[in-house]
Structure 1
Amino acid sequence: QRMATVSLTMGGVIKSTSLLPGEPVRQGSVLATLENPDFITLQQTYLDSHAQTEFLEAEYLRQQALSAEQAASQKKLQQSKADYLSMKSRVEAAAAQLKLLGVEPEVLLKEGIQPFLQIKAPINGYVADVKMNVGKYMNVGDALCEIVDKSRTLLRLTTYEKDLADMKVGNPVQFRVNGMGKTVFKATLISIGQKVDEDTRSVEVYARVDTVDNQFRPGMYVTARIMKEQASAEQ
C-alpha cells in the first residue's frame, strides 16, 4: 500500500520525463508523457461516438413521440432504440478505456484531443528504480519506476516457531538499523505469519514503526527484539 509500481496499460514511446531517483513526487503529478497514435484514435472514437449518441437519442425520442401519436411504425421505433443503445454502449466502452488511462471524458469534451498520454503518480512518495528514458518504447505492463511512501514504515522480521507462544499482536518491538549506529527505534507488532518455513522453522512477522526516520530505506536490514507486553524480557 505504501509502495507503488508505475506501469502502463497502453504501450508507446516516452516523449518526455525529468525524473531522478530519490526525487519526491505528489500524487497526481505528471511523471512522463507517452506517445502512441492509438491514444489519439481512442479519443477520436469517444468524441465521435458521443456526438452520434446525442443525435440518435434525439431521433429515438422523436420516434417515441410519433409512436405515441400513432404516426410512426413500431419497426422504426425499435430500430431507432437499437441504434441509440448501441452507440451509447460504444461511448461507455470508450469512456471506460480512457479512465483506465487516467483521462477523464468530461475533460476531453472541454479541451479536445490531447496528443500525448500523461503518466501520473498514484501515490505521494519518492521515486526509485527509474527504467525509462526519452525515446524508449515501453510495452503494456512495463514498469516505468517505483514510488516509495515513507510516511508509514513496516518491519518484516524473521522469528522462530519456539517463540510463538509468547508473541501476540500489540507487543512492543525495539530495533536497530544496520549503518545507523546504536540508535534504538521502537515499533509495534501488527501481524504474525500463519505459515512456518519447513526448512528454517521460521515465521515472518510484521511491525509498524512508531517514529519514522528520514534515513530509513526499503530493503535495509535491522536487528530487532520483540518484547513481552508486561515485561522487558527478550523473546
Structure 2
Amino acid sequence: MKKIFYPVLLLALTACKGNQQTTDTESVTVPVSEVAADTTAQPEVDAITSATSKPNQVSFNGRIVLPPQRQATIALTMGGVVKNTSLLPGQYVSKNAVIATLENPEFITLQQTYLDSHAQTEYLQAEFERQKNLSAEQAASQKKYQQSKADYLSMKSRQDAAAAQLSLLGISPETLLKDGIQPLLEVRTPISGYAANVAMNVGKYINPGEALCEIIDKSTPILCLTTYEKDLADMQTGSPVQFRVNGMGKQTFHGTVVSIGQKVDETNRSLEVYASIKETNPQFRPGMYVTAHIQKH
C-alpha cells in the first residue's frame, strides 16, 4: 500500500501547484487592446527639449525681447568727461531729454570752426557774385573770377563739414548761430523709455563711440522662441501662440507668429521664431523666460 500511496500524493501536489501558477498568470494578464489604448493616450515628448504637448500643439522655450527700433544704445562720435548726470538705472526718460553733459575742448573748437567758416562763406559768396557780374560785363579778368569762385566753394565745403559734425552730435547749426558757443555737450535720448546698462558717472572719460547707457521701450515687446528643423512643416506666420512667463504663475498670454528664421544653427540645429504679443503687461521685462505652445496648421 505504501508503494502506491506516495506517487498518487506527489501527483496531486504537482497538479495543485500547476493550477496555482495558472491562476497567478491569468490574474496579471492584460488584453493587448488595452495596452495600445493606454500608449496612444500619452502626450508627445520632444526628444530635444523634453517638453510635452498636445497632438495639435508644439511646445517651445524662449524669452521676451524688444524689436530693434524699440531700444537705443546712446553713444557719441566725440568723447569727453562727464560733467553732470542724474540718470538712474530703471528711470523713465522722455524723447530728447538731456541725460548728461560732457566737457571737451574739441567741442568748443568745432563750434568756432563752423562760426568762422560761416562768416567767411558769406563774404566770399558776395565777392564771387561781384566778380561774376564784372566778368559778364568784361570789366574783370577771368582769373579773378575763377579765384573768387574757388575760394567761395572751398570755404562753403568747410562750413558744411563742420555743420555735419555738429549734426552728428545733436547740435543744430541754426541754434549755434542764434545762441553762440556752448561750453558743454548735451547728451539727449533718441527715444522714450527706461534707462538700462548705465555706464557713466561724474568725472568719467567717455571715449568716442563708447556706450553711455541704453534706453528700452517696453510698449511693444515680442517673443523669441527656439524651434527645430522637425517643427517647420507645421509652422507658418499667423499661427496662434499661447505662452506663460516664468515668475508670473499660471497666467496665460496670447500672440501670433510674425517671423520665422531662415538660418539653422549648425551646432544644435535650431532656429528662432518671433511672435507678437496681444496683451500688454507692465511686468514684462526683456530677457524673461517663457514657455509657449504654437498651434499647428
Shared fold, TM over 0.5: yes
- What do residues 156-199 of structure 1 show as CA deviations (whole Å, max 9, x unaligned)? 10012111111000111111111111111111111111122233
Q: Are 1:22 and 1:127, in contact at CA under 8 Å, matched by a contact in 2?
A: yes
- One-letter amino acid of the counterpart of residue 60, structure 1: F
Q: Are 1:115 and 2:183 an aligned pair?
A: yes
Q: Are 1:38 and 2:106 an aligned pair?
A: yes
After superposing on structure 2, the runs of 4+ consecutive aligned residues of structure 1 that deviate more than 3 Å are: none
Could you say which residue in structure 1 is the equivalent of 2:252? 184
Aligned partner (choices 197, 200, 224) of residue 265 of structure 2: 197
Q: CA deviation at 1:30?
A: 0.7
* Identity percentage of aligned residues: 71
Q: Are 1:215 and 2:283 an aligned pair?
A: yes
- One-letter amino acid of the counterpart of residue 124, structure 2: L
Q: Are 1:79 and 2:147 an aligned pair?
A: yes
Partner of 1:9: helix, strand, or coil? coil
Give the whole-Å Cα distance in 1 for the aligned partners of 2:149 and 2:268.
67
- What do residues 134-176 of structure 1 show as CA deviations (whole Å, max 9, x unaligned)? 1100101111111110111011100121111110001111111
Aligned partner (choices 114, 122, 139) of residue 207 of structure 2: 139
Give the whole-Å Cα distance in 2 for the aligned partners of 1:73 and 1:90.
27
Larger helix fraction of residues: 2
Name stretches of at least 5 consecutive residues in structure 1 with no aligned partner.
Answer: 230-235
Q: CA deviation at 1:130?
A: 0.5
Aligned-CA RMSD value: 0.9
Q: CA deviation at 1:228?
A: 2.9
Could you say which residue in structure 1 is the equivalent of 2:236? 168
Could you say which residue in structure 2 is the equivalent of 1:228? 296
Give the whole-Å Cα distance in 1 for the aligned partners of 2:200 and 2:280.
30
Could you say which residue in structure 1 is the equivalent of 2:225? 157
Q: Are 1:53 and 2:97 an aligned pair?
A: no
Question: Which one has the largest radius of gyration?
Answer: 2
- What do residues 14-69 of structure 1 show as CA deviations (whole Å, max 9, x unaligned)? 11110011111111111111110000000000000000000000111111111122
Q: CA deviation at 1:210?
A: 1.1
Q: Are 1:6 and 2:60 an aligned pair?
A: no
Name stretches of at least 5 consecutive residues in structure 2 with no aligned partner.
Answer: 1-68
Give the whole-Å Cα distance in 1 for the aligned partners of 2:76 and 2:172.
17
Give the whole-Å Cα distance in 2 for the aligned partners of 1:40 and 1:199.
52
Could you say which residue in structure 2 is the equivalent of 1:28? 96
Q: Are 1:62 and 2:130 an aligned pair?
A: yes
- TM-score, normalised relative to structure 1: 0.95
Partner of 1:165: helix, strand, or coil? helix
Q: CA deviation at 1:201?
A: 2.2
Q: Are 1:125 and 2:193 an aligned pair?
A: yes
- One-letter amino acid of the counterpart of residue 189, structure 1: V
Give the whole-Å Cα distance in 1 for the aligned partners of 2:271 and 2:137.
76
Partner of 1:203: helix, strand, or coil? strand
- One-letter amino acid of the counterpart of residue 44, structure 1: Q
Give the whole-Å Cα distance in 2 for the aligned partners of 1:217 and 1:167.
26
